[in-house]
Amino acid sequence: MTRSAEPGRPGAFVVVEGIDGSGSTTQAQRLVAALERAGVPASFTCEPSNGNVGVLIREALAHRLRDPAGAPIALDWMTLALLFAADRADHVHRAVLPELERGRWVVSDRYDLSSLAYQSVTSGGAAGVLPWIAALNSKVIRPDLTIIVDVSATTAARRRQARGADAELFEVPEIQERLAQVYRGAEALVPGDRVVHVDGEQDIDRVASEIWAATLGLAQSRESRP
């Protein structure tokens, strides 16, 4: 689908994915801490990024975009797909690649799998959505490993409610139910990528342990390369 992360690059790129409330952010941050404890220089990052386009996306997700008259602006799925792709290109070249080239491992909370999942689910059944989104992201590197934290929409909703924050754009029960199904079959969206699923219904330490095991598997496979 897109060009692979270069085998000779000293760092490794790991992505943690899941529906809203899956715990992907917490687990990505815990993975960075575990790598650092193991003596592996690592950096946490996320999408939307903290770049200019990413900030705009976050405003849209939080329902904070307004027109000059102060009326709310709702961006359609196609506009969001374009913005996410632009933010990703900027994110990779500004924050991810420089760290990889320095020999650091980069752990990102979300990447292009989120676009493939979220924009396809919210596209209203438009034809050719997945190939189009894949093409938009065809110039960015592939992760060395993508970890899916699988949880039910019910569990994720309970966790979001416990956070107490206002619901964002995609935090709608029907959308989250469909997203949970899409993530369970994520391999079909990113053919050729190394994808591992972890049961996110378990306690937080057990989830972290399984993510660490998957990461060790990646490290061992990289060490065995000729």
Residue ranges of the domains in the chain?
13-223
Report the b/e string of 73-84 with b at 16+ CB within 10 A. Answer: eebebeebbbbb
Residue whose pair of structure tokens reads 């000779």 in the numeric block? 8
The stretches of the chain forming alpha helices (DSSP H) are 24-37, 52-61, 77-91, 97-101, 112-121, 129-136, 153-163, 173-184, 204-223
The pLDDT value recorded for residue 2 is: 34
What is residue 213's predicted lDDT score, i.e. its pLDDT?
A: 97
- pTM value > 0.75: yes
pLDDT for 7 equals 54
What CATH code would you report for 13-223?
Answer: 3.40.50.300
Distance of CA 172 to the CA centre of its chain: 19
Q: How far apart are CA 97 and CA 107, in angstroms?
A: 12
What is the full per-residue pLDDT of the chain (226 aa) written as tens digits?
A: 233 445 557 899 999 999 999 999 999 999 999 999 999 999 999 999 999 999 999 999 999 999 998 998 999 999 999 999 999 999 999 999 999 999 999 999 999 999 999 999 999 988 999 999 999 999 999 999 999 999 999 999 999 988 877 888 888 999 999 999 999 999 999 999 999 999 999 999 999 999 999 999 999 888 766 5
